[in-house]
Amino acid sequence: MTGGSFSKVGVVGLGTMGAGIAEVLARGGLSVVGIEVGPEALERGRGHLESSTGRAVKRGRLTEEARREILDRIAFSTQFADLADCDLVIEAVPERLDLKRRVFAELDRVCKQEAVLATNTSSLSVTEIAASTARPAQVVGVHFFNPAPVMKLVEVIRTVLSDPEAVARVAELASALGKTPVTIGDRAGFVANRLLFGYLNQATSMLENGHATRDDIDTAMTVGAGLPMGPFTLMDLIGLDTCLEVLEAIHAETRDRRHAPAPLLRELVAAGLLGRKTGRGFYDHG
């Protein structure tokens, strides 16, 4: 497998999504440079990659030798300067516009002129992020789904400023990595989250109003609607903080009350119960 017209790709931020994206790229045969803010975060990112590929070996999906090759394709660094010769950089830092704009300003400074800069944002405006660089035509959105190594969809976001060739190259990369790209305009929630999160929010309201229990709602949607996970299991996977951010962004744009975050969701986030990543959300993950 090759990465279309890209051969060296940087990933900024190695949390759940960034590490998953780095794994997908390295599995596809690309050279990857993974960047984190400091040594501790970098080690955590390396840990995500080691455990995810380790699980694949345990399940007999990957040989230990292939796993080594994948991990050897990833260089880890805390220095943005190490992105200088990347053809593409994918940013996957937390969903704060000021932070993403700072990262893009820095990418603009260190990356070669022809490099494409992509954001994995799920809720912020790609256009506003692009505007923090001197090369907005080279900035696109590339939205992976959680867990990135498993989920096939990649939303490729074009802004009014994007060069169609940069958009097409990123979509080709997604296909080359075995993903299914869809190309869409820069609207809050893009396509999948815009449709999915109204449902997740409504499930939370149903629970809050005593309409049904958590387990019965999850069972209804897995057994009755054939979904791989019920809404509460899925929100715990996504992270309740991310769910809240996505809903707030869609609500801010649409003012549609279906996207006004359910008070219970706010309460859980305020309490630090963020789902799997903190060990407890709608469920206790032990």
Q: Which residues are catalytic?
A: 122, 143, 155, 193
Question: From the list 31, 119, 122, 127, which residue makes contact with ligand CAA (rule: CB under 6 A)?
Answer: 122
- The first and second tokens of residue 77, run together, are 């660094």
Q: Which residues contact 65 (CB under 8 A, 6 or more apart)?
A: none
Q: State the minimum distance, in angstroms, from the CB of residue 82 to ligand CAA.
A: 26
Site for ligand CAA in 58-77 (CB under 6 A): 59, 61
Question: How many residues in the shown chain lie near ligand CAA by CB under 6 A?
Answer: 18
Helix, strand, coil proportions of the chain in percent (round to 5)?
Answer: 50, 15, 35
Structure-block tokens of residue 36: 């984190």
List all residues 6 or more positions away from 270 whose beta carbon is below 8 Å from its beta carbon.
Answer: none
Residues 243-272 that bind ligand CAA (CB under 6 A): 246
Among 6, 145, 232, 282, binds ligand CAA (CB under 6 A): 145
Residue type (1 letter), 48: H
Segment lying near ligand CAA (by CB under 6 A), choices 68-76, 158-166, 234-242, 255-263: 234-242
The reply on whether position 228 binds ligand CAA by CB under 6 A is yes
Q: Which CB, 42 or 153, lies closer to ligand CAA?
A: 153
Question: Of 146 and 205, which has the nearer Cβ to ligand CAA?
Answer: 146
**Which of the residues 183 through 222 are near ligand CAA (CB under 6 A)?**
193
147 binds ligand CAA (CB under 6 A): yes
Place of tokens 């929100």: 235
When asked if residue 119 is in the footprint of ligand CAA (CB under 6 A), the reply is: no
C-alpha 87/C-alpha 99 separation (Å) is 22
Stretch that binds ligand CAA, among 39-47, 213-221, 238-246, 262-270 (CB under 6 A): 238-246
Alpha-carbon distance values, 274 to 144, 232, 239, 271, 285 (Å)? 20, 12, 5, 8, 11
End-to-end CA distance of the chain: 39
Give least dist CB 219 to ligand CAA, A. 15
Strands 153-158 and 88-91: unpaired
Site membership for ligand CAA, residue 152 (CB under 6 A):
no
For residue 9, report the phi and psi dihedrals to the nearest 5 degrees. -125, 135
Minimum distance, C-beta of residue 165 to ligand CAA, in the bound complex (Å): 26
User: Which of 10, 28, 149, 231 is close enough to bind ligand CAA by CB under 6 A?
Assistant: 149
Strands of the sheet containing 8-12, edge to edge, are 74-77, 31-35, 8-12, 88-91, 116-119, 139-144, 153-158, 180-185
3-state secondary structure of 229: coil
- The residue sitting closest to ligand CAA, measured at its beta carbon, is 122
* Closer residue to ligand CAA (CB): 71 or 110: 71
Residues that bind ligand CAA (CB under 6 A): 52, 55, 59, 61, 122, 145-147, 149-151, 193, 228-229, 234, 238, 242, 246
